[in-house]
Amino acid sequence: GSSNVLLNTGHGALGWTLAAGSARIVSDLVVGRTPEVDISGFDPNRF
């Protein structure tokens, strides 16, 4: 896998509802900040 690829997908019918929160998390990751919410449950390496 690539270490510099971020996917912001999987929102289904709630796409616009979740867009702002997801964008905040992605932007935090891009600039190297720790997101305000725990995102460890979304790490593909958790398995």
The pTM of the whole model exceeds 0.85: no
Residue pair 36/43 in contact by the 8 Å Cβ criterion: no
When pLDDT is cut at 50, 70 and 90, the band that residue 42 belongs to is: confident
Average pLDDT, the chain: 90
- Give the Cα separation of 12 and 44 in Å (integer): 19
% pLDDT > 70, the chain: 98
Segment 24-36 shows an average pLDDT of 95
Nearest to 35 by CA among 3, 6, 13, 10: 6
Per-domain boundaries in the chain: 12-46
For the stretch 12-25, pLDDT in tens is 999 989 989 999 99
- At 30, list the tokens: 């891009």
